[in-house]
Chains A and B, each alone.
Chain A
Amino acid sequence: MADEKDDFGIETRALHAGARPDATTGARSTPIYQTTSYVFEDIDHAASLFNLQTFGYIYSRLTNPTVAVLEERIASLEGGRGSVAAASGHAAQFLAFFSLMEPGDEFVSSRNLYGGSITQFGLSFKRLGWHCHFVDPTDPENFAAAITPKCKAIFIEGLANPGGVIVDIEAVADVARAHDIPLIVDNTLATPFLCRPFEWGADIILHSATKFIGGHGNSLGGLVVESGKFDWFASGKFPGMTEPDPAYHGLTFAETFGDFGYSMKTRAVGLRDFGPSLSPMNAYLLLQGVETLPLRMARHCDNAQAVAEFLEAHPKVDWVSYAGLKSSPYKALAEKYTPRGPGAVFTFGLSGGFDAGVRLVEACELFSHLANVGDTRSLILHPASTTHRQLSDEQRETSGTTPEVVRLSIGIETIDDIIADLDQALDKA
């Protein structure tokens, strides 16, 4: 039987995992199940579904057959046990923490994050009684020093946005394990093609699938992926996983569902009660992207390396923060964690400062000026005047978005055309 083989390559799994030809019609492409709800066979079947005693579909806020294919596919690519999709990466991030945190709980996070995550953690989570300690991720000991008895997780972006910083995932995972708390890694910018954090000890992986996974800049989506290896009972710090849950009739998630209890709780409580579900249409479009993820990421990385080398040699550029460059302090970590290339999102500094950044962005013809990364098309952004403008000067300093910084997300256009556009725009900057 085909399912005896358990070592399918990542390119094969990017195409096939989670998707079998439809049992009734034989449809080969995953059908878009554009439906809110599903007919019960009888009262007993309905009761079994609501009680989670049987697998099946009730309502698309919880599960949907098209969304489920995306969930299983990403779980497979990451080498995880299960995953839960959400309407956006930010929604996935909220759900991931909701399954772990009680009011008054704390967590430790890298301070090198997407600006929106710094705001979510620092301001909006605070209103739920969840306190985040931000630390400099370049020394793993900083995480250990910040952990308090109330800390329930460590959070990092493995390949950090806006770029260039690679966190020593294995060392931070050791800190998390020593404190019996899970390590959550946002793997958005690397994707499982470049880096698989579970192999380095992470327990939960988050994705904004809006970026490289979907890859075509057409759909929002997010995912929470569970390794299945975190021992909730041995930790003893997560009564929501190991004791009867009043939010689900006294069900004990880690006992009833074993190594996918966290995914079940995230779905059956988090998605059910807050409702940020992924639409079937978006799941379909994201699946189309996943199919070519390995091909695209390889080209994204080749192009990014060439652009970084071009910029490093340019007289108007002060510095380039790309971990693929020999000059990068993260080169060794890049070789360890992202041997196929450290992604395609990075920053560089213009000697002309804030004004030069604004002029450069406005002079580009081929680069799109917008607030996204991980599109097939090359993108450019001046964080200090856009995405990171709500941060304080100190936060901009620590997150690497000072006024002279420009962020690029290198696409898969012809490399000579990408460089030519930057070259002409730099002339005007």
Chain B
Amino acid sequence: MNHDTYPASLLRGILRRCKTMVMVGASPNWVRPSNFAMKYLQIKGYRIIPVNPARAGEEILGERVYSRLADIPEPFPMVDIYRNAEAAGEIVDEAISLAADKGIEVVWMQLGVRNDAAAARAEAAGLTAVMNRCPKIEYGRFSGELGWGGINTGIITARRQSVI
């Protein structure tokens, strides 16, 4: 798959389907981007499960923090990775190995994070891989909220606003 541009339908479909996301690298520090995205997606009705080994057992924004994906005791369709490209590769491999057990469909790497080899492994295992994007920003684009801040959503339509 082309990882420079993604069709709107692909990203919108992921955001409609994956109502539970695991956020690997979620930070309890409110000025960190991961905390921003978690807070926003919670407001929009998503369940966000944080993974952060240094904070395992604590809570971030009301959710229990797990040490690794395998420890999460429930299914989750999407893994959102807030780690550097190298670390992202290992997390993708962990997600591939747990995909059948946890129902994982999507591995998503954050803005600035790109590991093409890991994405290719995920795709070979039947998962969808997204890189260098933020689910908060994409949600904001499809809902039109991004445009409230003067950001170009690229959306042209004469239909009334829907949610996403």
A: which residues have CB within 8 A of B?
1-6, 8, 12-13, 16-18, 20-23, 26, 45, 48, 51-57, 63, 65, 67-69, 71-72, 75-76, 80-85, 244, 249-252, 255-256, 258-260, 263-264, 267
CB distance from B158 to the nearest CB of A (A): 7
Contacts of B111 in A (CB 8 A): 258-259
Contacts of A13 in B (CB 8 A): 156
B36 and A53 form a contact (CB under 8 A): yes
B43 and A55 form a contact (CB under 8 A): no
CB distance from A270 to the nearest CB of B (A): 13
**Residue from B40, B142, B150 within 8 A of A68 (CB atoms):** B150
A55 and B36 form a contact (CB under 8 A): no
B145 and A56 form a contact (CB under 8 A): yes
Contacts of A267 in B (CB 8 A): 149-150
B153 and A256 form a contact (CB under 8 A): no
Contacts of A85 in B (CB 8 A): 150
> Given the complex of chains A and B, what is the CA–CA distance between A250 and B155 in angstroms?
32
- Interface: B39 (CB within 8 A): yes
Contacts of A23 in B (CB 8 A): 160-162
B33 and A256 form a contact (CB under 8 A): yes
- Contact size range, B: 35 or more
By beta carbon, the residue of chain A nearest B140 is A55
CB distance from A228 to the nearest CB of B (A): 8
A-B CB pair tally, cutoff 8 Å? 128
> Given the complex of chains A and B, what is the CA–CA distance between A4 and B155 in angstroms?
8
B31 and A249 form a contact (CB under 8 A): yes
CB distance from A19 to the nearest CB of B (A): 9
A251 and B159 form a contact (CB under 8 A): no
Task: Enumerate 30 A-B pairs (CB-CB under 8 Å) in ascending A order.
Answer: A2-B155, A5-B156, A6-B8, A16-B157, A16-B158, A18-B153, A21-B160, A22-B160, A53-B39, A54-B43, A55-B40, A55-B145, A55-B146, A55-B148, A55-B149, A56-B148, A67-B150, A72-B151, A75-B150, A76-B152, A82-B149, A82-B150, A82-B152, A251-B31, A256-B33, A256-B36, A258-B111, A259-B111, A263-B149, A264-B149
Contacts of A259 in B (CB 8 A): 111
**Residue from A1, A12, A54, A260 within 8 A of B151 (CB atoms):** A260
A4 and B9 form a contact (CB under 8 A): yes
A16 and B156 form a contact (CB under 8 A): yes
On whether A83 and B150 interact (CB within 8 A), knowing A2-B159, A249-B31, the answer reads: yes
> Given the complex of chains A and B, what is the CA–CA distance between A54 and B61 in angstroms?
15
By beta carbon, the residue of chain A nearest B144 is A20
Contacts of B43 in A (CB 8 A): 45, 48, 54
